[in-house]
A and B are shown apart, each in its own frame.
Chain A
Amino acid sequence: MAQEDDEEDLVFNVEEVQKIVRDNIELCLGGNVYSHSRAPQWITVITEKTLARLTKLNKPFKYIMRMTVTQKNGSGLHTAAAYFWDTATDSTCTVRWENKYMYCIVNIWGLALQV
């Protein structure tokens, strides 16, 4: 029984995390227009709220969360990532969100604390 709990704990639950992130983004960005001066504040609020909820899940993970907010302008943005980690326990979660005025991309990486 204890072992089963440990195995559940050690999995990075992607869907749960995505849901948390989407809720926070909706709450904060909603129908707003992109504003250069307010964007850092939005980013701060969303990242801190999301990480607070992630830590409440009490899983043995280290988290890295990165958020990008871009104005809709027709310009191109491409991202690539490469990892050197333990594929069994570590995972990534990406959420793309948009409204009429901006794009929001959130990356969360969960790295297990133990082998």
Chain B
Amino acid sequence: MADEEVGEEETEIQEAGGDSEAAVTPVETEKPLAPPKYEVRPGLGDKFQAQNVRDIIVSTMQEQLLGRQYRSDQAPRWAKVIANAVRQRVQELEMKRYKIIVQTTVLELKGAGVKCGQRCIWDPETDDYVDDLYRNDTIYCYTIVYGVYLY
């Protein structure tokens, strides 16, 4: 009886020991926070992927607007959907430490004159933008994506 109990206790202790070993290893693999690296430039593979972003913009606008006519009640929704979809897909590219701004403008082609201009104060070695437009008979859609590096 006593032996059996002892035996049980021993096995329990061993199991507990096994548990505690298992509990210890995760703690060991947790590294302390790395010291700050002060990297002011993205690595070679981490730069803003201009061509990929351009492909995303073009394909998203085509998906959403192909074959459609301008409708004033639907246009705001289209603009929102395109902006969110582009932002989502650009995030999936996982460009580290880049902040993304996407702006979509949907215009009705009615003969009005439109002029746009932009100026940026940023670091031209790390920050970049990509823009593209989609045009059909009644809709003119322009999307621009800015990527700004966070030091």
With a cutoff of 8 Å between Cβ atoms, the chain B residues found around residue A63 in the complex are: 120-122
Rounded to whole Å, the gap between the CB of B66 and the closest CB of chain A is 18
Say whether A76 contacts B83, CB under 8 Å.
no
Say whether A64 contacts B118, CB under 8 Å.
yes
Say whether A71 contacts B103, CB under 8 Å.
no
With a cutoff of 8 Å between Cβ atoms, the chain B residues found around residue A58 in the complex are: none
Say whether B127 contacts A62, CB under 8 Å.
yes
Residue-wise interface mask of A (51-66) relative to B, using a CB-CB cutoff of 8 A (1 in contact, 0 not): 1001100000011111
Say whether A81 contacts B99, CB under 8 Å.
no
Say whether B148 contacts A81, CB under 8 Å.
no
Say whether A36 contacts B102, CB under 8 Å.
no
Say whether B148 contacts A62, CB under 8 Å.
yes
Cβ of B44 under 8 Å from chain A: no
A55 to B127, CA, bound (A): 18
A71 to B83, CA, bound (A): 25
Cβ of B50 under 8 Å from chain A: no
Say whether A71 contacts B114, CB under 8 Å.
yes
Residue-wise interface mask of B (78-111) relative to A, using a CB-CB cutoff of 8 A (1 in contact, 0 not): 1110111011001100000001111111111111
A81 to B106, CA, bound (A): 12
A41 to B101, CA, bound (A): 26
Rounded to whole Å, the gap between the CB of A63 and the closest CB of chain B is 4
With a cutoff of 8 Å between Cβ atoms, the chain B residues found around residue A48 in the complex are: 119
With a cutoff of 8 Å between Cβ atoms, the chain B residues found around residue A75 in the complex are: 107-112
Say whether A77 contacts B118, CB under 8 Å.
no
With a cutoff of 8 Å between Cβ atoms, the chain B residues found around residue A114 in the complex are: 151
Say whether A65 contacts B101, CB under 8 Å.
no
Closest to A109 in B: B101
With a cutoff of 8 Å between Cβ atoms, the chain B residues found around residue A83 in the complex are: 87, 99-102
Cβ of A10 under 8 Å from chain B: no
Cβ of A86 under 8 Å from chain B: yes
Cβ of B134 under 8 Å from chain A: no
With a cutoff of 8 Å between Cβ atoms, the chain A residues found around residue B127 in the complex are: 62
Cβ of A115 under 8 Å from chain B: yes
Say whether B79 contacts A90, CB under 8 Å.
no
Rounded to whole Å, the gap between the CB of A78 and the closest CB of chain B is 5
Beyond A64-B118, A79-B103, A84-B100, 13 additional pairs, beta carbon < 8 A: A39-B115, A47-B118, A69-B116, A73-B111, A75-B107, A77-B114, A78-B106, A80-B104, A81-B101, A82-B83, A84-B90, A109-B146, A113-B151
What is the interface of chain A, defined by CB distance below 8 A to chain B? 34, 36, 39-40, 43-44, 47-48, 51, 54-55, 62-86, 90, 107, 109, 111, 113-115
